[in-house]
Structure formats: structure tokens, C-alpha cells
Structure 1
Amino acid sequence: MSFFPRSLLCIVPVTLATFGCAGVNSAMIQANASLAAANRNLSGASGVNVDGALAKPPAPLASDVMSAVPMIKDFVSTSACLSKDANVVNILSRFWDGTGHGIGYTDPKSRMSHNQSRCLKVDRVGAWSQPAKNVLKFTVTYISESSGESVILRHTIHRDESDKWYLSGY
């Protein structure tokens, strides 16, 4: 049981006794969010400045882009800091809604020959387009600060019935 954080071992029984199963679910969601934040801090993803890279969308798309920004920032900062040996499917699964055959994803570091950076710099998120009411397309420019190489990747996301944004399946 040493692979469980001690705080989790304390939270679950106390919450179960106090609030029942609904409380356990809430506690597990909080614990998962805390662990995800710690993982981003340890990986360096929290140091990736996506806010400064966001290009202003065209006025007709502004509302949809703004609603997708939290997901885009999380996805882009995670992508910028993935290690070559990372289990991409597990790490990026939170950005996929489970439909289709998988997610269309290319690791930006795989397109660079001489990168030695732990995390890539996100230079620009933009070139917004909306081919359907529930779909946004955008590009991300990643730059290796160690080699100066850059790569531009195009991503497609879609909004589900609950207004949550996900990477589109391929």
C-alpha cells in the first residue's frame, strides 16, 4: 500500500464515514486534481506560459474560443512538457471523450532533431477556425529554447452536449 499517498488513505475512510459514497467521489475528484497539479509542477508544465501565446480570435469565434481556453491551456502546456518516454495515451486521455478510434496527436518534440529542452516554449496559439458550431481548429507554435527549432501543429477540438471541449478523434 506504499504506492498510495498517505493523505489519500486518510481522506477516503473519513469521507466515507461522514458523507457516504457521494462524499468519496467528491474526495477522489479533489485528490485527483491535487495529484494532477503536483504532476504538472514536477514535470515543469506549470512553467509553460500559454496565456502570453494566445492570439486574439476573430470576433465571431471569440465566445467559443474563450469557453475552450481552459482545456486548450491545459492540453498545450501538457504537450509542451511530455518526455520522450512518457505514456502519451494515459497522460492525454483526459483530453479525449472516448468516441472514435483515438485522438489525433503528434508530439511536438518528435518533429525536432536537436531539442534538449525539458519543456518547449509555446510561442503562439492561434490561426483559429470553426468548421462547425461545435468544432474549433487552431495551431500551436512550439519552440525549443535549447536548439531554436520550431514546429507548428494543428489541433482540432470539439464540444460535447455538456459544453466540455475535447480533442477530436481521428
Structure 2
Amino acid sequence: MLRDLIPADLSKAQSTNEWKRVIVQHYNNDSGMSPEEAKISFLKVIFRWPTFGSAFFEVKQTTDPNYPEHLLIAINKQGVSLIHPVSKEILVTNPFTRISNWSSGNTYFHMTIGNLVRGTKLLCETSLGYKMDDLLTSYISLMLTNMNKQKTIRLK
């Protein structure tokens, strides 16, 4: 049953007996909660995860030998994260302020991190490039709107 409860990439972090002990302990601590309390408690935990609220995209990157050929790209309110597809380790998170350019098409998504002259380009093969483009455009638009609002408030 542990295979159904513990993600494969975390299962080796502890022994089977240790996982069982921890699960039973948490179950006993939380067994008196109402469904609403359990939902709130769950959200308080996952809200702290760096990928909370992310949209995930599987891509094949063709430019940076420092990263695996296949990557997961997570886009959320923190920026754009590159994630190892097997270990699920976050390799890098680029805040929106570091993304200077991006484009997409039916089979690709391109992004420049840093400035256009000395920046790093990430070229990805994906059929969801247009969705990545739209999401990135929306987050950056929201960020710029919020920055302009703060400037206006400071000027008043």
C-alpha cells in the first residue's frame, strides 16, 4: 500500500517501517479533524512547496548541456522553474524579472533569461508552447500591473 501513498522519488528517503510509523503517527494526530479542517491543514502544508500552483510542461530542450534533454518546466507566481524529470529536483528557478524574451509556435517554446545580448537561451520542443507563452505573458502582465500600482501609490 505504501506505493500508493508515497511518491516513487521519495520512497527511498526512509525505510518502509519508518514510513509506516510516520504515517500512523500523523493519522493518529489528525484523526479527529473535520473534513474542512483537514483541507485547510493540507493547503497550509502544500502552500509552502516551491511548485505550489504550478502548471507543469514536459519539454525536450536542445540548447543547454548543463540540463537533461528532457525537462519539466513549472510556471507559477514565483517564475519559471526547470525540474529534473526523474528526481523532481528543481534545477533552477528564474524569476519573471530575469526573463527578457519568449516566443512559441506549434512545436516549440523559446525563452531568453537575462538580457538579449548576453542572456541564456532555452529552446524547447513541445506541442504546448502556446500555452506556456500565454501563461508567462499573463504572469508578467500581472507583475507589471502590480509594479505600476505600487509606483502610483508611492507618488501620491
Same fold? TM cut 0.5: no
Could you say which structure has the higher helix fraction?
A: 1
Larger radius of gyration: 2
TM-score, normalization: structure 1?
A: 0.29
TM-score for the superposition, normalised by structure 2: 0.31
Q: Which has the higher relative contact order, 1 or 2, with Cα contacts under 8 A spaced 6 or more apart?
A: 1
Higher strand share: 2
